[in-house]
């Protein structure tokens, strides 16, 4: 459906959201506390775009549970999957794959596994690689149900490492990976080893492609996240929302304008801030432009 913001104001808001610890509860992975807000926004035609460290296999299942049928970004910005009816034309540089237009920004997983293997003799005792974990171990380290853990293991573009060393050793390890051409990103639970991509690069590409195909529409972006791997998209979005976490402090950002931090945790915080930024009154206002989303 066409957004009411487009039909009324010739504007659109794109919401980019992290999942684990943001839209989904850190412990239970449930989104019940954000469900009503999601349904309200989706009902008005505002896209909610997952921008996550999760895999394509996970998102195919999860987006159905969340009631989402739009684009999604996987593995910390490694690739964007765009459903056919989201844009009027083929996105530039995208290929048709698995029922989606796909724009990728990273080498495939096997490349990064080969790089990790090179440094394993000296540093392998400091981490566990997802590829070497049993399904039971993935369940243990992620808290996922077995079926979801299986989907999580089906990575295409990067490799998560569970760090077992000290923080000092981790910083040294990250520098080594960077010298080898990797761009490691700290997530909520894992160190993600992959290419020169991040959630911010993916957000920017999709925004520009949307603007290219909707030249008469003014587009603004809201990004929501709780972890260090969300920093790039939080810095680049028009409005940034840091979601409070039960296990760590909000990520530090350089920006100070249009920056919000929730008081509540996870999906409750997600709803708390978006209800303020995009209140229902926006859709019934007679004013020329909806102030809350600027």
Question: What pLDDT, on a 0 to 100 scale, did the predictor assign at position 285?
Answer: 55
**Is a pLDDT exceeding 90 seen at residue 270?**
yes
Split at pLDDT 50, 70, 90, the class of 286 is very low
**Is a pLDDT exceeding 80 seen at residue 289?**
no
- Secondary structure of residue 104 in the 3-state scheme: strand
Taking only the tens place, the pLDDT of each residue in 14-35 is 999 999 999 999 999 999 999 9
Question: What pLDDT, on a 0 to 100 scale, did the predictor assign at position 5?
Answer: 75
Split at pLDDT 50, 70, 90, the class of 9 is confident
Provide the sign of the torsion angle of the four alpha carbons 268, 270, 273, 279, taken in this order: negative
Average pLDDT over residues 261-287: 89
**Is a pLDDT exceeding 70 seen at residue 291?**
no
User: For residues 214 and 11, what is the distance between their CA atoms, to the nearest angstrom?
Assistant: 10
Question: What pLDDT, on a 0 to 100 scale, did the predictor assign at position 1?
Answer: 54
- Domain extent listing, the chain: 4-105+198-293, 109-193
Average pLDDT over residues 265-283: 94
Taking only the tens place, the pLDDT of each residue in 193-221 is 999 999 999 999 999 999 999 999 999 99
**Is a pLDDT exceeding 80 seen at residue 100?**
yes
Query: What is the value of pTM for the model shown?
Result: 0.88
**Is a pLDDT exceeding 90 seen at residue 130?**
yes
Average pLDDT over residues 148-156: 94
What is the chain's alpha carbon radius of gyration, rounded to the nearest angstrom?
19
In the chain, the percentage of residues whose pLDDT exceeds 90 is 86
145 close to 139: Cβ distance less than 8 angstroms: yes
**Is a pLDDT exceeding 70 seen at residue 292?**
no
CATH fold label, 4-105+198-293: Rossmann fold (3.40.50)
Question: What pLDDT, on a 0 to 100 scale, did the predictor assign at position 293?
Answer: 45
**Is a pLDDT exceeding 50 seen at residue 287?**
no
User: For residues 148 and 223, what is the distance between their CA atoms, to the nearest angstrom?
Assistant: 25
- Secondary structure of residue 47 in the 3-state scheme: coil
Question: What pLDDT, on a 0 to 100 scale, did the predictor assign at position 294?
Answer: 38
Question: What pLDDT, on a 0 to 100 scale, did the predictor assign at position 2?
Answer: 60
**Is a pLDDT exceeding 80 seen at residue 188?**
no
Buried b (16+ CB within 10 A) or exposed e, 13-51: bbbbbbbbbbbbbbeebebebbeebbebbbebbbbbbbb
Q: Superfamily assignment of 109-193 in CATH?
A: Putative mannosyl-3-phosphoglycerate phosphatase; domain 2 (3.30.980.20)
Average pLDDT over residues 41-55: 96
In the chain, the percentage of residues whose pLDDT exceeds 70 is 96
Average pLDDT over residues 3-21: 88
**Is a pLDDT exceeding 50 seen at residue 288?**
no
Average pLDDT over residues 183-201: 90
Average pLDDT over residues 119-139: 93
């Amino acid at each position: 459906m066409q957004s009411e913001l487009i039909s009324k104001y010739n504007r659109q808001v794109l919401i980019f959201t992290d999942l684990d610890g943001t839209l989904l509860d850190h412990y239970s992975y449930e989104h019940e506390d954000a469900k009503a807000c999601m349904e309200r926004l989706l009902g008005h035609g505002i896209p909610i775009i997952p921008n996550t460290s999760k895999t394509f296999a996970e998102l195919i299942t999860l987006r159905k549970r969340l009631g989402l049928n739009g684009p999604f970004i996987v593995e910390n910005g490694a690739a964007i999957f765009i459903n056919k009816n989201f844009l009027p034309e083929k996105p530039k540089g995208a290929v048709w794959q698995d029922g989606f237009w796909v724009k990728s920004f990273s080498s495939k997983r096997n490349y990064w596994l080969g790089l990790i293997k090179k440094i394993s003799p000296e540093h392998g005792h400091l981490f566990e690689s997802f590829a070497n974990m049993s399904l039971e171990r993935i369940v243990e380290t992620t808290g996922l149900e077995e079926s979801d853990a299986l989907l999580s293991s089906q990575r295409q573009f990067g490799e998560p490492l569970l760090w077992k060393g000290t923080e000092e050793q981790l910083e040294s390890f990250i520098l080594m990976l960077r010298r080898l051409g990797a761009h490691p990103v700290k997530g909520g639970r894992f160190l993600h080893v992959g290419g020169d991509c991040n959630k911010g690069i993916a957000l920017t590409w999709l925004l520009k492609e949307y603007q290219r195909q909707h030249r008469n529409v003014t587009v603004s972006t809201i990004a929501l996240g709780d972890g260090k791997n969300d920093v790039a998209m939080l810095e680049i979005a028009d409005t940034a929302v840091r979601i409070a976490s039960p296990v760590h402090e909000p990520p530090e950002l350089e920006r100070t304008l249009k920056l919000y931090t929730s008081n509540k945790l996870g999906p409750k915080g997600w709803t708390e801030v978006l209800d303020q930024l995009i209140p229902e009154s926006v859709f019934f206002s007679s004013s020329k432009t909806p102030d809350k989303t600027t």
